[in-house]
Structure 1
Amino acid sequence: MRFLTVVFFFLYLGLSAQNKTSYNQDNTFELVKNVVRVQNNSKLLTINHNYSYYEKTVVSAHPDSISSTIDTIYKNRKKNKFSIDSSSYKFKKLVTKQHLYQFEKVSDVFIKNSTKKEEILGIKMAGLKQPIYELIGQEFMPTDFTKENLKFLTFTIKNPVSLNGSKKYIFSIDTNYKTNNTNLVKLNFNSTTLFKKNKVNGYYIVNKNTFAIQKAVFIINGIVNIQAETNFEWSKKGKNWYPISQNLLATKGNHNHNIDILGETIRFDNLQSSTNKKFDYTKDLYLKITRKYLNYNFEVTSKKQLYQIQIDKNAISNKDLFLTFFEKDSLDARSDQTHKTLDSLVTAERIEKKIYFGKKLINGQIPLGFIDLAVRHIFKYNNQEGFRLGLGLSTNDRFSNWFKIFGYGAYGTKDGVFKSQIGTGFRLSKKSNTWLSGSFTDDITEFADVTLMADNKKYKLYDPRPFNISTFYNHQTYSINIESKFISQVETLFNLSKSRINPLFNYVYQPNNDNVDFYNLTLASLSFEWSPYSKFLQSPQNIFEVEKNYPKFLIQIIQSVPNVFENEFNFTKIDTRIQFEKKYLSGHKTTLLWQAGISIGQTPLSHLYSIAPNNLDKNSLLKRITFASKTSFETMFFNEFYSDKYTFLQLKHYFYKIVLSKSIKPIFVLGSKAAFGYLAHPEYHSGITFKTMEKGFFESGLEIQNIFKGFGISSYYRYGPYQLPRWEDNLAIKISFTLNLGL
């Protein structure tokens, strides 16, 4: 529980909103205009330099503010049943000796040609042998105060002295004074109205002669109360003002919202306990982050590393670095004891094992010693197999960092057929996380599924579409795979496969007057997923995407290999995808997905496109109610359309979460989808009736997500050239589910 408390204060999420401002005095307006001008001309990332910094993060409480009394909690009105709550006493005793959590790091930062690289030289994370790398990669205070947006913890606000941000605040001149023969002025700023979650205010200390900022203080009051202070110093060589020290203090706010952990990967409820304990220690906690900058150097050389953040292989063991680099804080006697005590605490409560388990579970795996159990293979359902029960296993890094064995077995209760896969992999490079693997698979796959190799690696708790699909093909496939990140910010996947395809319904492919009901395919596939704006961290063990940003681009090319392993058809497929997501300071979010594909040559229907339909062909609206999918067409019937080239666009806008109670927090979403598809030779495909959609397929609707315990409801309406005669047939109502883990 203590560790969850740590995480609570380490990553509590909130958003700012956008507001208007006006200036009350001419001299204030003139001062702000000059400060904005100087800041806009002082882009620090355009100046080549490097520096070092030390960062210390502490989660603790002030012992003097905590009562040491032992409370009596009565369980009934007669007060003859009671229990003793000593949690306040125990908590005070604990924080008198030590902090609850402590993390320190030392880094070198290199900036050249607007590119920033960080090398972490030393790490001390109290109580853990292996640090939580996803946390290490987060930047909880800004270093460049010339940007349009500034981020404190996970709160993003408009920069008051940026070109657009200055319109969102009210400014006032507070005090004029003089220090070391320098004329200074205190410039206050306040957000124009109370934001939905956070009110932002603070002040700058400005040099009246140069209009440079020498000190910046930000105060954010909302879900978490934050006070952040940055001090700047003039550098003659750099000819600019650079941060020399930063402090951030965060305490609990007055709201009871959920929090997001690890960049929306794990979500915990707030720590307002539902137990009968009277003492709520979260109100006494604080998070404090301290940074010291030094060794600024403007004769910088390039830093040769693939990713934005790289952890030195000796960072964990490099304890002497902290002693030689920085002076010990004599005012904080609890720090030394924290490392010693948390070591035993972690051992006693097995917190490290819990973290390891949680990170595995996020990726759909349950660790069982040196073997992982794959959650995705345990249970599924579809019209072909009925209930599909299975078991998937793979070795993990406790078995070997360089070698793995994986596979699964599954049985369909309806078709009575056993499916399986067996494979092995070898790690060729740790630096680029390159794996070479081979496998044999005997399984079934949906007809005309828009398959992108990058998506196959991502874990889904459930996929509702196969519940109602009835067009599958069986395949026996031998494959060789290579996956790598040898190109920075690019996930590269290569696959060479030989498959025996057998449709499981009365389908016949008839190119050139031939009748082909089963066939062999040898395919070479190459996929690139490029995330140019995401931040990646390279640890000694793995590569992590610690900050997911958009847009993301994907291109995939599949080429059948003629005259190799009995390949019967010659075709080329090219698929592309662009994902875009924009979060607004108001708490709203807009997402856009564009996807297109084309198949050139003789391609059987099994490898064409059906563009993700998700609607049952039944007369009654109530009988068509199933689970909604994230990117499918909810009003398009299964097997209604097929294409050899298509384009698909989805636009969604997520409104601000409405907190009605602890369990009811609905999010309203407006969605609109459109697709165009073409098929050159529909007469080549026999045994199935379908249409093409040259005129365009359109649907729009409303989703209400997370009404209760992650469940919601969505409704989409079909319109345009392929609208159906009956109004009821154009409407789809679906049940939605949002996993409360941020997946």
Structure 2
Amino acid sequence: MNKCYIFIFLLLTNLALSQTIITKKNDKEPKTKDIEAVILQDKSDPRALEILQKVNDKYKINSPESLLSYSYKSYEKISIDFDQDSIKAYNDFITKRIDSLKKLPIQPFKAPERKDSIESVNLAKLAGQSKLFLWERASEILYSSQYGEKINILDNKISGLKEPLYELMAFRSNRTQIPKEIKEENRNLYRYFLTDSIDIDGRENYVISFRQTGYRTFADKKKFNGYIYVDKQTYGLKKIESNSKIDNEGSITSIWTLNNGKWFLLKEDYKLKLNNNLLKIGLNSEGKKSKEDKKQDTENNKKFGQYAYATADYFDIKTDIKSNPKNFRGYTIDVKNSDGTQIDQYRTSKLTEREEETYVTIDSLSSRYKLDQKAKALTGLLKGKIRLGIVDFDLARIIGYNKYEHFRLGAGIKLNDRFSKYISPDAYFAYGIYDKKFKFGGGVDIRTTLEKNSFFRLEYFNDVMAAGRFSENLWNFRMKIMNAGVAINNNVFYNYEGFKVSYENDLTNGLTVNIAAKKSKEEALFSYSYKNLGNQFDISSAIITLKYSPNSKNIMTPGGKYTYEQNFPEFYLNYEQGFKGFDGDFNFSRFDALFTQNFKTKLGVTGIRAYGGLIVGDAPIWKNFTMNGLANGRNGFNFNLTSYLGFATMQGGKYYNDKFVGAYLTHRLPWYFKSFGKNVSSFDFIYRGVIGDMKNPEFHQFDFEKLDHLYNEVGLEWNNFLSSQFNLGFFYRVGHYNTSSFKDNFAIQFKLKLLGF
């Protein structure tokens, strides 16, 4: 059962119905003889590519989101089960196998082995009676060009869980996404052929057959993986059928319907074979298995492999609805009901006996196997946490590296909503291998409501940080992880100890504000003096942070707001005001801002990060801005991991400014290719630039330089390098800071693909 829920977590967060699926009612199929008569070559038919290009070009016009408003309902169901044709054979096999085991002599077992053996038998019987997993969701989708999208969860039901999984409720279907089979970047994964024309519902449609690349024999090239049906008049998608090139590995079908001149997704179905058999059916009573037993187990697991099934029906479509602003308030997703009591009225077909039995059987096992706790633990991983009972462990604090501490080991814990829905204490500690010192901190969140993100926070801290770090307030987990190595070659650190009180509130779905007051004692951990006043100061300040992310999609969960889809543009603004009052040593004003945007045109995908900072008044060097160099500064080879705001060729900890502006530009070329495997590769041109100044560098008595000329580096990044999950980048420094040494100017970077732009 553990493996079953692990798979569901991965399936729903990564696949998210990224492909669409089946029905054949009222649809005429193309003639097989006509299709097979087509002479196939290992390249696509230009006529088919021309049609698909028009489908892409007109996709936004044909999309329902080009309307002023609309609404519809959806019913979705996901399950794990055997292939329907093998269930009877499986039950016969299990019955015979258990009977044969009873005739064997009883073998001595250790307690864990006996438990595993009993569990294996029980689960094997269970799989013959019901599905291994079943989840249903009913939703109402509202859209307004003025207010955006609003999703109301009308009901939700999941086998084995007493409490709803809000993160699961938020998983995305394919209804607003371009299917992968027609995306321009995936053209090299398929070969397309215009093979027929067919009438569907009184409208003429092109039939484009396609097959995946990678067939080894000429005979294989005659096989098709699926068909794309394109409406001749509008170039809207009517239907896509897709099958894996390996028999019985999976099938996907999507169907659209024309309503008010726009193509709404009507139905999705898919069947996906699981790579790992979630239910071991060897049922061998002996502790050690012979080679014959293992071979037989492998054959049985292949024969009775499990599949993930998903269906979605969209109905009650209405256009030009009245867009009442009250209906769009709050987060993107609003949960109206989640106990499963109303799901029956939204089902588009009755549950089968096997599906009904799933709820009964799996629910009975929930307490025994602690399915609620395990499922909650898995959803915690989406936020970078491991949940054990009432405690969440912060994955980001386990290990880190910087030039001051070298390896930093630690742990962070936070009491979650199982402890209290309104009060959540937390604490952390860390130990630096090189400086041999402990760092620690703690705090408590006090929520004011369960309807949205709104809480007070009190905290104490005693830690170290690289001087001049750009603010990461309100950044999400992915952004912080990506920027974690920005100080990897910066040894200019300072210690800060003190208290902070803050209040955070989501004013709207896209606007968050955080107001804080902080009192701290801060000390340089390097040779430094500011205006001959020493290297230790008391800082009293107030901070306000704004985050504006109008297109991101959120849902409120018992553990707080969860952003299930981060969309651009985004804007972050921080303003810190230091006071001489309240025992502070300095008056200063510190501003920093970050703007991000990502958009696609016919010339490719362009990403922009524009950021900058300004400090006015008296403040030590760590309140100024370092320029985020990642290079080691030695005469050797520059190799580093990418960071959100870092420069691959710039020496770490070398440049500091009291004002600066920077830009990170990336442009993905509309040329996609496949080396091997299933991933499509592409290239990004990248430019990074920054310029600033320091008004009185002599006030800061330590070895550094101000960066008052434009620093430029250009690069080329190979996405999905050799079809892996990594991007490989090559960067070169140009302009004013270019030197005569190639090694100084050149750097190589690696980036994990899932970190995104």
Distance change (3 Å), C-alpha of 1:347 and 1:651:
farther
In the alignment, the residues of structure 2 paired with residue 705 and residue 21 of structure 1 have an alpha-carbon distance, to the nearest angstrom, of 27
Correspondence for 1:501: 522
After TM superposition, the structure 1 stretch with the greater mean CA deviation from structure 2, 100-109 or 241-250, is 241-250
Using a 3 Å threshold, how does the CA distance of structure 1 residues 343 and 658 change in structure 2: closer, same or farther?
farther
**Separation of aligned partners in 2, 1:700 and 1:741:** 18
* CA spacing shift, 1:40–1:367, aligned 2, 3 Å: closer
Q: Give the superposition deviation at 1:8.
A: 6.4
Q: Which amino acid aligns with 1:174?
A: S
Aligned to 1:291: 313
Residues 1:137 and 2:170 aligned together? yes
Per-residue displacement from partner, 1:575-611 (whole Å, max 9, x unpaired)? Answer: 221233468999x976443222222333321111112
Residue 429 of structure 1 aligns to a residue whose secondary structure is coil
Tell me: CA distance 1:92–1:23, structure 2 relative to 1, closer, same or farther (3 Å). Answer: farther
Distance 1:15 1:55, change over 3 A: closer
Q: Are 2:449 and 1:429 aligned?
A: yes
Change (3 A) 1:346 1:485: same
The answer to whether residue 666 in structure 2 is matched with residue 638 in structure 1 is no
Partner of 1:250: 271
- C-alpha contact (below 8 Å) 1:569/1:603 kept by paired residues: yes
Separation (CA, whole Å) in 2 of partners of 1:703 and 1:44: 33
SS for the counterpart of 1:454 is coil
What's the counterpart of residue 150 of structure 1? 178
CA contact (8 A) 1:593 1:651 kept: yes
How much does 1:122 deviate? 1.0
CA distance in 2, matches of 1:108, 1:686: 63
Amino acid paired to 2:629? P
Per the alignment, residue 54 of structure 1 pairs with 75
Cα 1:90–1:427, aligned 2, differ >3 Å: closer, same or farther?
closer
Q: Would the alpha carbon gap of residues 193 and 585 (structure 1) be closer, same or farther in structure 2, given more than 3 Å must change?
A: farther
Percent identical across equivalent pairs? 21
Q: 2: distance between equivalents of 1:35 and 1:709?
A: 27
Q: 2:611 aligns with which of 587, 591, 595?
A: 595
8 Å CA contact 1:21–1:192 kept in 2: the answer is no
The match for 2:597 among 577, 580, 590 is 580
Equivalent residue in structure 2 for 1:369, among 365, 389, 399: 389
Q: Give the secondary structure class of the aligned counterpart of 1:64.
A: helix
Q: 1:731 aligns with which of 746, 753, 756?
A: 746
1:310 aligns with 2:355: no
Aligned CA distance change for structure 1 residues 196 and 109 (closer, same or farther; 3 Å): farther
1:330-366 deviation digits (Å, cap 9, x = unpaired): 7x22221111122234445444433322333443433
What is aligned with 1:449? 469
Deviations 1:625-654 (A, max 9, x none): 565545421221133211112222223467
Question: Is the contact between residue 39 and residue 212 of structure 1 (CA under 8 Å) also seen in structure 2?
Answer: no
Distance 2:650 2:312 in 1: 55
Instruction: Report the more deviating stretch, 635-644 or 594-603.
Output: 594-603
Q: State the SS of the aligned residue for 2:358.
A: helix
User: Paired residues, what number?
Assistant: 665
Establish whether residue 187 from structure 1 lines up as the match of residue 205 from structure 2: yes
CA gap 1:684/1:113 in 2 versus in 1, 3 angstroms: same
1:720 Cα deviation after fit: 1.8
Q: Is the 8 A contact 2:79 2:309 kept in 1?
A: yes
Residue of structure 2 in register with 1:567 after alignment: 584
- Alignment CA distance shift 1:299-1:480 (3 Å): same
2:466 matches 1:460? no
> SS of 2:626's equivalent?
coil
Find the aligned partners of 2:726 and 2:142 in 1 and give their Cα distance.
46
* 1:228 has 2:242 as partner: no
RMSD (CA atoms)? 4.9
Unaligned runs of 5+ in 2: 20-42, 98-116, 185-190, 216-223, 277-293
**Cα distance change on mapping 1:175 and 1:590 into 2, 3 Å:** closer
The residue that corresponds to 1:607 in the other structure is: 623
Q: Is the 8 A contact 1:174 1:185 kept in 2?
A: no
| Match of residue 78 from structure 1 | none
2:37 is aligned to none
Shift of 1:240: 6.3
Aligned to 2:133: 101
Residue 202 of structure 1: aligned partner = 228
What displacement does 1:218 show?
A: 1.4
Give 2:697's aligned residue: 682
- Which residue of structure 1 lines up, in the alignment, with residue 219 of structure 2? none
Q: Residue 540 of structure 2: SS of its match in structure 1?
A: strand
Q: Could you say which structure has the higher helix fraction?
A: 2
Measured in 1, the distance between the counterparts of 2:183 and 2:726 equals 34
Displacement, 1:438? 1.2
CA distance in 1, matches of 2:659, 2:565: 34
How far apart, in 2, do the equivalents of 1:733 and 1:429 lie? 48
Sort the Cα spacing of 1:52 and 1:455 in 2 relative to 1 into closer, same or farther, 3 A. Answer: closer
Aligned pair in 2 of structure 1 residues 13, 343: CA closer, same or farther (>3 Å)? closer
Q: CA offsets per residue over residues 256-302 of structure 1, 9 Å max, x none? A: 9xxxxxxxxxxxxxxxx999723336966252313152385866462
Deviation of the 1:251 alpha carbon: 3.7
CA contact 2:464–2:496 (8 Å) conserved in 1 = yes
Change (3 A) 1:681 1:217: same
Q: Is the 8 A contact 1:478 1:498 kept in 2?
A: yes
Change (3 A) 1:36 1:648: closer
SS in 1 for 2:178: strand
Q: Post-superposition shift, 1:20?
A: 9.1
1:477-501 per-residue CA deviation (whole Å, 9 max, x = no partner) reads 2211222223212333222212222
- The worse-fitting range, judged by mean Cα deviation, of 104-113 and 434-443 is 104-113
Is residue 336 of structure 2 the alignment partner of residue 336 of structure 1? no
Task: Give 1:437 shift.
Answer: 0.7
The alpha-carbon deviation at position 120 of structure 1 amounts to 1.1
CA–CA distance in 2 between the matches of 1:63 and 1:430? 43
SS in 2 for 1:500: strand
C-alpha displacement at 1:54, in angstroms?
3.1
- Which SS does the other structure have where 1:280 is aligned? helix
How far does residue 526 in structure 1 lie from its aligned partner after superposition? 1.7
Which segment drifts farther, 212-221 or 57-66? 212-221
Q: Is the 8 A contact 1:216 1:231 kept in 2?
A: yes
Contact kept, 8 Å, 1:644 with 1:679, in 2: the verdict is yes
CA distance in 2 between counterparts of 1:393 and 1:213 reads 54
**Deviation by residue 1:377-419 (Cα, 9 ceiling, x = unmatched):** 4444444445544443322221112112222233445444443
Deviations 1:721-741 (A, max 9, x none): 11223323333356x463989
Q: Report if aligned partners of 2:649, 2:713 keep a CA contact under 8 Å in 1.
A: no
Tell me, what secondary structure is at the counterpart of 2:343? helix
Q: Is the 8 A contact 2:64 2:70 kept in 1?
A: no
State the AA in 2 paired with 1:220.
Answer: S
**Is it true that 1:406 corresponds to 2:426 in the alignment?**
yes
Distance 1:201 1:490, change over 3 A: farther
Select which of 413, 438, 444 maps to 1:393: 413
Q: Residues 307-333 of structure 1, C-alpha deviation per residue, up to 9 Å, x if partnerless?
A: 222112xx22251x2344557627x22
Matched AA of 1:618: R
TM-score, normalised with respect to structure 1: 0.75
Matched residues in 1 for 2:493 and 2:472: separation?
Answer: 18
- The runs of 5 or more residues in structure 1 that have no matched partner are 73-84, 144-148, 160-167, 257-272
State the TM-score, normalizing by the size of structure 2: 0.74
Structure 2 CA distance for aligned equivalents of residues 589 and 214 of structure 1:
23
CA drift at 1:475:
1.8
1:34 to partner: Cα distance: 13
Residues 156 and 434 from structure 1, CA distance in 2 versus in 1: closer, same or farther, beyond 3 angstroms?
farther
Instruction: Give the residue type in structure 1 aligned to 2:316.
Output: L
> Partner residue of 1:82?
none
- 1:23–1:731: structure 2 CA closer, same or farther, 3 Å change rule? closer
2: CA distance between counterparts of 1:456 and 1:8? 20
- Please tell me whether residue 119 in structure 1 is matched to residue 149 in structure 2: no
Q: Write the distance in 2 (CA, Å) between the matches of 1:639 and 1:8.
A: 40
The answer to whether the 8 A contact 2:441-2:462 is kept is yes
